Amino acid sequence: MKIIDGGVTAAKGFKAASTAAEIKYKGRTDMAMVFSEVPCVAAGTFTTNVVKAAPVRWDQDIVYNHPGARAVICNSGIANACTGEEGFGYCRETAKAASESLGIPEDSVLVASTGVIGMQLPIDRIANGVKAMAPKLEGSREAGLEAAKAIMTTDTEKKEAAVEIEIGGKTVTVGGMCKGSGMIHPNMCTMLGFITSDVDISKELLQEALSEDIKDTYNMVSVDGDTSTNDTVLLLANGQAGNPKITEKNADYEEFKKALNYVNTTLAKKIAGDGEGATALFEVKVIGAATKAEAVTLSKSVVTSSLTKAAIYGHDANWGRILCAMGYSGAQFDPEVVDIWLESKAGTIKIVENGIATDYSEETATKILSEEEVIAKMDIKEGNETATAFGCDLTYEYVKINGDYRS
């Protein structure tokens, strides 16, 4: 697998464009379009929140009930959630504008929105934005990068990833972009992800690969414990790589899954590290669990603990908060055998052994916790299962941003 510089335009046959439609923001782009030159098979995973935004319901129908897709239209600023039939109608009107501008069927257009809940989209601006983007579509690196910037809300940086692999003697590319900074606690976050690939694969296996992979990637991210109404990950594959079509779970399928996992893991970590107001990416690794479910439960309990997140912000090795969060997780374990380490570029330190503090240096621990990426690792010594959750520290800035989000 070769890691490359790229995003949604890295794979053959995919183009992107962006524009400033002034949906909510002024002086910046706020709409993006991703387009495939040929029909794609499409897969998707969506929020489990009972309150589902109109674009989620639209995309679920396209992904589950239609053979393929050609385009994705995304706007930032307004989420089109809790907007009733009027909001759902705007999804249809967006697809219609794309159909007319691109010469493709309405039911091959996927839509996505992110931003403030409860506001209606200014559909005239959306439609004009679609028409403005269509002639600007390019397969260039720059076009993909600008699309990634256009979908940002409170994000502080664009989020992209891409890799190349070889399947059947052909180069296959998987690339993607995402946005997400606050209201991030996915269970398929506001988290939107768009992955493109030129792999030739059946729709059924594409969906299975995505559905399995999000369990260890996006669904292991938490910034603030709030599951969004708009969470969506879309995966499009157009077959332009020319590889032998993947129709069974063979070595080619496993190779594609590895590439997909790299892209999704990279994007998930970028979301966590760019949490609203965050100063550090906080990874929590649980090893030695009896079951995968137990490892997931424990790691997510620690990564979502407000007290632990605050300690990470303060560079404070307050390991009691970690053990406490493990204890109320619902998972069963023996606290008297637990080992805990803290890790970063500055080094590794074991702070708990068999449930009791080691004679560690607070100065060294603080130095380790002062890096931009920090890891807490816990061994519960019950088996061989592991899980890693991704989060961030909790800062004053998070409260400031969300105390005035609608302004």
Tokens 């089109």 — which residue?
80
End-to-end C-alpha distance for the chain, whole angstroms? 44
According to DSSP, the residues that pair with 166 across neighbouring strands are: 171
Residue 72 C-beta-side C-alpha neighbours within 13 Å: 36
Q: Measured between alpha carbons, how far is residue 99 from residues 79, 104, 107 in Å?
A: 22, 5, 9
- The pairing of strands 192-197 and 232-237 is parallel
Please provide the size of the chain in residues: 407
Distance CA 317, CA 360 (A): 10
Q: Is 223:231 a contact under the CB 8 Å cutoff?
A: no
Distance CA 105, CA 102 (A): 9
Q: Is 218:228 a contact under the CB 8 Å cutoff?
A: no
What the block records as the tokens of 379 is: 């061994």
Is 348 noted as a catalytic residue in this protein?
Answer: no
Q: For residue 399, give the 3-state DSSP assignment.
A: helix
Phi and psi for 82 in degrees, rounded to 5?
60, 45
Residues near 251 by beta carbon (within 8 Å), at least 6 away in sequence: none
Distance CA 270, CA 177 (A): 10
Least Cα distance to 146 among 3, 5, 4, 9 occurs for 9
b/e map 34-70, b = 16+ CB within 10 Å: bbbeebbbbbbbbbebeebbbbbebbeebbeeeebbb
Q: Which of 190, 265, 297, 304 is catalytic?
A: 190
Q: Is 167:260 a contact under the CB 8 Å cutoff?
A: no
Catalytic residue IDs: 190
